[in-house]
Amino acid sequence: MASAAYRAGEKLYSERYGETSDYTRKHGVVCSGILLPAHAPPEYADRQTLWNAVEKNERRRDAQLAYSDEFSFQNEFTFEENMELALRFLQENFVSKGLICDYAVHDPEREPGGTPNPHMHVLIPMRAIEPNGLFGKKQEQVFVLDENGDRIWDEKRGRYKTESRSCNGLDKYGALEKLRESWARLCNEKFAEKGLDIHLDNRSYARQGVELLAQIHEGPAVHAMEKRGIHTEIGDYNRFVRQLNAVIRETERKLKDLREWLQTAREELNQLPTPEEPSLAWVVQEQLNNLPSRSKSLRHVQEASQALIDLQEMGITNADELDAKVTETSKFYDELTERVKNNEARVKKLEEVIKQAAIYKKYLPVKQALNEPRLHFEKARKKYEAEHDSELTLFKAAQGVLKKFNHGKQWTDTMVADWKKEVAELKASLEKEAPQVKVARDEMLKLRGIQGTLESYLKPRRERNHEQER
């Protein structure tokens, strides 16, 4: 009762609860009314009588009484045209099925220059009116059937399985989708009748394949706060979404212009004799023809357009030049990578040998002391070796590294100086070439990406050329 009073802006008394709901001071209520099936009691045209009857018909205190629906009027239509569509929508989808519709039209106050938001609220008692004028059932028990249409026996309960189903059909899966589709259809028919290039779609952006983001419904509380200049999370989110959608629309507009330009260019190219080896610009136009879907078209336009820009910057005009450039860039990248890798390994090895040469010279006197006469005696020699075990071990290891590196030949200080000079030269070369590896790799990947983008057209053409050569 309170919901009906609020929506209609009236004062109604509930016999069940002994309460009066007074919303006569509510602003923005344009009109209200009740639509009855032909066999409904005429007294139900009175709002208070109707909802007292609905409340009286329910036994449980927590019973759900009605469905609540809301839909916006179209600002492109007059008020009379919107009312005609709305009443037709209610008649086709609810009243024709024996359901009563209690409707109220609201047109909230708005700031100067604000967008009008007229809309209709509808309360629909869940119980349909039977031919005898009484309220019917909400739900009914029906047998659960298998894939062959036969009833299924429940061994545990000793009876056939059943389930509850809504009698009015509004609780069925997909019912809301059909209602939205019905309202969109009525509005679109009116748009077409008035010659307006507008189309409503009851599907979400994602289901339509539209690259836009949906906003969050603000509701009266959030709207009131935003109107007073109080920022809310929902308001901030919607503002960000509107800005982002504006960018997306602008991008799509530019892509549309680009597609039209490419189509025009393609038509002009088609009027010319097809060259034996077409330019890659022509290939781009050819590949963008008859793309299968809108979302895929946008992606292909972006890829092909970027490929065309890159090719123009590189001065590449045909497939042979592209293939040659890919081969040349790949070879340069492989050679550069191998050279940098080898130089890094050579520097590491030389630095280790130089380090071992220093160790060798440092502990050479310790090793040479073993030849002194005082250490010819075994006891003295063992004592000396024990005292200088770590130095002798390091010397021996360094000697082995140097011998292996120099292929068994004796090394000299001159060799060490040459090694240090080579290390300095290699490091200078690495400092120059190492950054070039990434540049070469990026260029190679870019060219291969372009080649992959155009491959769907170039591959069949190459295969035809090979067949002709055979």
- Domains of the chain, by residue range, sit at 2-202, 222-292, 320-469
By DSSP bridging, strand 159-160 and strand 153-154 are: antiparallel
Cβ(377)–Cβ(464) under 8 Å? Answer: no
pLDDT of 311 > 80? The answer is no
Q: What is the DSSP string of 172-211?
A: STTHHHHHHHHHHHHHHHHHHHTT-------S-HHHHT--
Predicted local distance difference test score (pLDDT) of residue 35: 93
Predicted local distance difference test score (pLDDT) of residue 46: 93
CATH class of 2-202: alpha beta
pTM, entire model = 0.48
Higher-scoring residue by pLDDT: 83, 316: 83
Over residues 333-350, the mean pLDDT reads 90
Q: What is the DSSP string of 325-393?
A: HHHHHHHHHHHHHHHHHHHHHHHHHHHHHHHHHHHHHHHHHHHHGGGSGGG-SHHHHHHHHHHTHHHHH
Query: Considering only 127-136, 245-254, 307-316, 422-431, which range has the smallest mean pLDDT?
Result: 307-316
- E-strand ranges in 73-207 read 101-106, 119-125, 139-143, 153-154, 159-160, 162-166
pLDDT digits (tens, 9 = 90+) for 123-180: 999 888 888 988 888 777 778 888 888 888 888 888 888 877 776 667 666 678 888 8
Cβ(36)–Cβ(95) under 8 Å? Answer: yes
Chain Cα centroid distance, residue 49: 52
Q: What is the DSSP letter of 94?
A: T
Cβ(253)–Cβ(259) under 8 Å? Answer: no
Chain Cα centroid distance, residue 241: 14
Over residues 251-264, the mean pLDDT reads 80
Higher-scoring residue by pLDDT: 166, 404: 404
pLDDT digits (tens, 9 = 90+) for 179-208: 888 888 999 998 899 888 888 876 666 666
Kindly list the distances between the CA atom of residue 237 and the CA atoms of 123, 204, 206, 232, 368, in Å, as whole numbers in the listed order: 31, 18, 19, 8, 83
Over residues 333-338, the mean pLDDT reads 89
By DSSP bridging, strand 101-106 and strand 29-35 are: antiparallel
Backbone φ and ψ for 144, nearest 5 degrees, come out as -85, 130
Nearest to 355 by CA among 408, 416, 409: 416
Query: Considering only 92-96, 232-236, 344-348, 464-468, which range has the smallest mean pLDDT?
Result: 464-468
Rounded to 10 deg, the angle between the 319-368 and 389-405 helix axes is: 140
pLDDT of 374 > 60? The answer is yes
pLDDT of 291 > 80? The answer is no
If pLDDT is split at 50, 70 and 90, which confidence band does 376 have? confident
Q: What is the DSSP string of 387-407?
A: HTHHHHHHHHHHHHHHHHHTT
Predicted local distance difference test score (pLDDT) of residue 295: 46
* Mean pLDDT of the chain, nearest integer: 82
pLDDT of 237 > 90? The answer is no
pLDDT of 339 > 70? The answer is yes
pLDDT digits (tens, 9 = 90+) for 411-445: 888 888 998 999 999 889 888 888 888 888 888 88
